[in-house]
Structure 1
């Protein structure tokens, strides 16, 4: 029996989308468990899973032991990576 490649690709695309949505929900849940944000707020503010990962990295820097200057230096060293996250968070707070 020949394979209908168009249908196959559509099925794969659909499965990938479903997996991505489940992953996005899990990411949002983990972030909301350690912040004041709800799952829905996390998903709305950071729809891209890569941004959620950056947010988690930024939160780790801020919450990890160490003095204030060390934390600032780490953030400054990675500002290009964290810039969008900072703008989004401040937009939510302002």
Structure 2
């Protein structure tokens, strides 16, 4: 089932605006629903809600229907924004 990224972004923005503790739980739950990670892993890797938002942006690019080269170009053009997220993910994998 394809993800509606506009709705996803809207939901993430709404969640971020809510209280910190509830936000962390809701964000982790929403992100874990489109990844192979658990809520707990999301919260451990990305304790800052702003980082979860960056992860969501990265996931939107990765899961898009664009061809591989366009995805790479978009990721490279946002490398500074995604750098910390990529590092956290790769440390988890290694």
- Give the TM-score, by structure 2 length: 0.80
C-alpha separation in 2, matches of 1:49 and 1:19: 11
- Equivalent position of 2:25 in the other structure: 25
Kindly report which structure 2 residues correspond to 1:29-68, keeping only aligned pairs within 5 A, or say none: 29-68=29-68
- Equivalent position of 2:76 in the other structure: 76
Q: Structure 1 stretches of 5 or more lacking a match?
A: 1-17
- Give the TM-score, by structure 1 length: 0.80
C-alpha separation in 2, matches of 1:25 and 1:34: 15
Q: What is the CA RMSD across the aligned residues, in angstroms?
A: 1.1
- Equivalent position of 1:8 in the other structure: none
Q: Structure 2 stretches of 5 or more lacking a match?
A: 1-17
**What is the CA deviation profile of residues 66-86 of structure 1, one whole-angstrom value per residue up to 9, with x for unaligned ones?**
110000000000000000000
- Aligned length, in residue pairs: 77
Runs of 4+ aligned structure 1 residues displaced above 6 Å come to none
C-alpha separation in 2, matches of 1:19 and 1:54: 19
Higher relative contact order (CA 8 A, sep 6+): 2
